[in-house]
Amino acid sequence: MSDVAMPRLSDSMEEGTILKWLKSDGDEVSKGEELVEIETDKANMTYEADEAGTLEIVAQEGDTLPVGETICKLGEGGGGSSDDDEEDEEATEADEEEEAEDQGDDGAADEAADDEDEGEEDDEEEAEDEDSGDEPEEEAPSEEEEAPAEDEGERVKASPIARRIAEEKGVDLSTIEGSGPGGRIVKADLEDKQEEPEAPKKQRSADQGRGEIEEVELSRLQRTVARRMAESKATAPDFVMTLEVDMDEAVNLRQQLKAVAGDGVGGGGVPSFNDFVIKASALALKDFPRANGAYRDGQFELYSRVNVGVAVAGQDALVVPTVFDADKKSLGQIAEEARRVAERVREGKITPPELSAGTFTISNLGMYGIKRFVAVLNPPQAAILAVGELTPTPVVRDGEFAIRTVMELTLTCDHRILYGAEAAEFLGRIREYLQQPLRLVL
């Protein structure tokens, strides 16, 4: 039987939380079969078995373990051990319900040879077959003859898995009413018991008339976002600059693309204005390599690939999936990929590889009517771009007033790697690409 360790599912992952076992204790698992859902510092993802075998669950749902610690075991099963836990953890849940009739068959011969009582729960057949009678007063009764209580050495009738869960959770088995044969306590009884203490989170009333306080635990992803944002504000000497972009030409180009795509597409294949910004930023990053880099440990890291992260509102947290090699992809490819990863974030199906290796980040709140905001740096990246809404704005063109579609871009920079003049030129280059959008489709 081999140990399965908590896997490292992202570069920054230090520990993971077991969200849900997709197989039950004792199930036969094939190589490559989905085994468990794990919450990492970046996303929730499914882990597949590296080998085939019988599953023995070690870490329970909700447990948080460091990378490398055992979460389960996979073996050939059938073990021949006389220990209750080892025998029963290789049984399926269905077998557990029938333990009152057939538990202990595999280990009966060894137990009779040892001629000693280890307090194990033998079934009726084993109790009748054991004829040695050397120590009848210590002989374990059959399941149906077992009494609820005899003396201080008496054990409550419970399956080995139920005993293990009770020990881990600190549950007194004598307080549990078993639902198995003859009142035997099984795994399901402990699962029901585990749910009871979780119930109320509103535990105390606030002072000064604030009412009840509900204490909500942060998910691992939320804790990671909170930690990284605090580190960013505490360690990066940032500065901010804003400019306006005349988006009239981009609006006209998008209308032409929609006309070419046709009504049947439903707009799904037409690049959004955010896709325009991704492409424009990617091209500008090639022109200004330091903006596509990071400050780390007293030196600059300049990246050869342009991987643009796009901030997406996920399940109670901000998630930043990556559009890889955005400078080399067409506007249509960027639109398709950005929609796909954003949908995977909202469905909770995004994977760590899709969240990794970003070199620059874009955060867009324009769809919420926000004209301007300042985004927090996504460390260790050199800069992050905040995108506002497109707004009809009166402007002066050639000495005359005109109404133009204007969008504000706000760049937050790490002053350790990007200085004011270079950052201003970089942001201005993004504006050039957006105001001449045909350059984005060439």
φ, ψ for residue 168 (rounded to 5)? -65, -35
The H-or-E segment that residue 101 falls in is helix 99-102
Query: Considering only CA atoms, which of 423, 387, 424, 386 is closest in space to residue 406?
Result: 387
331: tokens are 């506007």
Decide: helix, strand or coil at residue 27: coil
Give the separation between CA 168 and CA 95, rounded to whole angstroms.
22
Query: Is the Cβ–Cβ distance between 410 and 384 less than 8 Å?
Result: no
Decide: helix, strand or coil at residue 203: strand
Query: Is the Cβ–Cβ distance between 336 and 353 less than 8 Å?
Result: no
83 flagged as catalytic: no
| C-alpha dist (Å) from residue 311 to 229, 319, 359, 362 | 14, 6, 13, 6
Query: Considering only CA atoms, which of 72, 76, 84 is closest in space to residue 24?
Result: 72
Which amino acid is present at 155? R
Give the separation between CA 289 and CA 304, rounded to whole angstroms.
8
Give the separation between CA 44 and CA 351, rounded to whole angstroms.
7
Cα of 369 vs its chain's centroid, Å: 30
262 Rama sector, left if φ>0, alpha if ψ -120 to 50, beta otherwise:
left
Q: Do the strands 293-296 and 299-302 form a parallel or antiparallel pair, or are they unpaired?
A: antiparallel
Which of 258, 346, 415, 416 does the annotation list as catalytic? 415
| Catalytic residue list | 415
